[in-house]
A = this chain, B = another copy of it.
Amino acid sequence: MKRKLQINLAAQSMFNDRGYSATSMRDLAKVVGIEPASLYNHYSSKEHILNAICFDMAEQFFEALNDLPKIESPSEELENSIRSHIDVITKNIDASRVFFLEWKHLNEPSLSEFKQMRKSYEAKFVSIIKRGIKLNEFHHIDPKVAVFTLLSSLNAIYDLYKPGRKFKTEVIADNICHILLSGISKIKNK
Interface pair B185/A146, CB less than 8 Å apart? no
Nearest residue, chain B, Cβ from A152: B156
Copies in the complex: 2
A interface residues with partner B (beta carbon < 8 Å): 17-22, 75, 78-79, 101, 104-105, 129, 132, 136-139, 141-142, 144-146, 148-156, 159-160, 167, 171-172, 174-190
Summarize A's interface: helix, strand, loop or mixed. Answer: helix
**Chain B positions within 8 Å of A180 at CB level:** 149, 179, 183-184
* Whole-angstrom distance between the Cβ of A174 and the nearest chain B Cβ: 7
B142 lies within 8 A of A186 (CB): no
A79 and B22 in contact, given A175-B142, A183-B182 (Cβ under 8 angstroms)? no
